[in-house]
């Protein structure tokens, strides 16, 4: 098993952290992982992306041609990466900001109104966790509990402890939002 995910969005949407939490969840499961950020001279509001590979054997290239999944947090990210998603892959679409349908017919789209859900939860900054929850449900490599625990490890003791409960809930909301798109035992 080897699965790659590209997380992409605006700088400030928490893209790099979402990818890191997935990588940590995979590592805690005993899997091999790589987390490769785009580290160009970007500014807030610019684009950001990272590639996470999770595998049960040593990982060769952390650079991936055709990821099994894409998390597109905004329209430019979908435009940039949609064509590269592997056949039968997954695209988590932030439907709060992306209004166009996918061009691809051979991938599964998971439409999640990420910003709207975050607003309902009372904090727009948890959009990354809502999207990650949805991805985790669709990808099926790690569980909701795995990713919640990895998120807690990331936030604990860094002055962000009070945000843990909110982020747990954001992950859960994203996870259940993807439920209706998933068939079989993902």
Partner 1 sequence: MSRVLMRGNEAIAEAAIRSGLKCYFCYPITPQGELVEYMAKELPKRGGVFLQAESEVAAINMVYGAAAAGVRTMTSSSSPGISLKQEGISYIAMARLPCVIVNMMRGGPGLGNIAPAQGDYFQATKGGGHGDYHLIVLAPSTVPEAAELVRLAFELSDKYRVPAMILADGMIGQMMEPVELPEPVDPKDIPERPWAVTGAKGRPRNVISSFDLEPEGLREMNLVLQDTYREIERSEVRWEEVETEDAEILLVAYGTMGRIAKTVVRLAREEGLKTGLLRPITLWPFPYEPIRKLAERVKTVLTVELSAGQMWEDVRLAVEGRAETPFYGELGGVVPSPKRILEEVRKYVG
**Residue of 44, 65, 87, 105 that binds partner 1 (CB under 8 A):** 65
Q: For partner 1, which is the closer residue by CB, 40 or 122?
A: 40
Task: Please report whether residue 149 would count as binding partner 1 according to CB under 8 A.
Answer: no
Q: For partner 1, which is the closer residue by CB, 84 or 103?
A: 84
- Rounded to whole angstroms, the Cα distance separating 146 from 169 reads 14
Task: Please report whether residue 64 would count as binding partner 1 according to CB under 8 A.
Answer: yes
Q: For partner 1, which is the closer residue by CB, 34 or 167?
A: 34
Scan for tokens 């798109």, then name that residue. 181
Stretch binding partner 1 (CB under 8 A), from 6-14, 17-25, 159-167, 178-186: 17-25
DSSP secondary structure code for residue 111 in this structure:
E
For residue 93, which phi and psi values (nearest 5 degrees)? Answer: -105, 125
**Residue of 23, 54, 134, 147 that binds partner 1 (CB under 8 A):** 23
- Rounded to whole angstroms, the Cα distance separating 52 from 92 reads 15
**Residue of 11, 17, 37, 163 that binds partner 1 (CB under 8 A):** 37
Task: Please report whether residue 40 would count as binding partner 1 according to CB under 8 A.
Answer: yes
Residues 169, 173, 174, 179, CA torsion sign: positive
**Residue of 17, 32, 166, 172 that binds partner 1 (CB under 8 A):** 32
> Left if phi > 0, otherwise alpha if psi is -120 to 50, otherwise beta: which for 88?
left
**Residue of 9, 13, 18, 20 that binds partner 1 (CB under 8 A):** 20
Binding residue count for partner 1, defined by CB under 8 A:
20
- Rounded to whole angstroms, the Cα distance separating 54 from 150 reads 14
Q: Are 142 and 102 in contact, with CB atoms under 8 Å apart?
A: no
Task: Please report whether residue 27 would count as binding partner 1 according to CB under 8 A.
Answer: yes
**Residue of 5, 6, 33, 142 that binds partner 1 (CB under 8 A):** 33
For residue 149, which phi and psi values (nearest 5 degrees)? Answer: -65, -40
CA 118: distance to chain centroid?
Answer: 15
Which residues contribute to the site for partner 1 (CB under 8 A)? 20, 23-24, 27, 32-37, 39-41, 59-65
């Amino acid at each position: 098993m080897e699965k790659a995910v590209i997380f992409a969005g605006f700088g400030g949407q928490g893209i790099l952290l979402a990818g890191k939490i997935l990588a940590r969840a995979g590592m805690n499961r005993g899997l091999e992982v790589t987390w490769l950020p785009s580290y160009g001279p970007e500014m807030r509001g610019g684009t950001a992306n990272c590639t996470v590979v999770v595998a049960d054997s040593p990982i060769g290239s952390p650079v991936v041609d055709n990821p099994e999944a894409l998390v597109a947090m905004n329209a430019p990210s979908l435009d940039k990466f949609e064509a590269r998603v592997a056949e039968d892959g997954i695209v988590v679409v932030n439907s709060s900001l992306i209004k166009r349908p996918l061009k691809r017919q051979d991938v599964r789209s998971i439409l999640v109104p990420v910003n709207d859900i975050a607003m309902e939860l009372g904090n727009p900054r948890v959009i990354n966790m809502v999207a990650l929850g949805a991805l985790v449900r669709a990808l099926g490599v790690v569980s909701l509990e795995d990713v919640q625990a990895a998120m807690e490890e990331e936030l604990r003791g860094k002055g962000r402890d009070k945000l843990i409960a909110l982020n747990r809930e954001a992950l859960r909301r994203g996870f259940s939002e993807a439920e209706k798109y998933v068939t079989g035992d993902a």
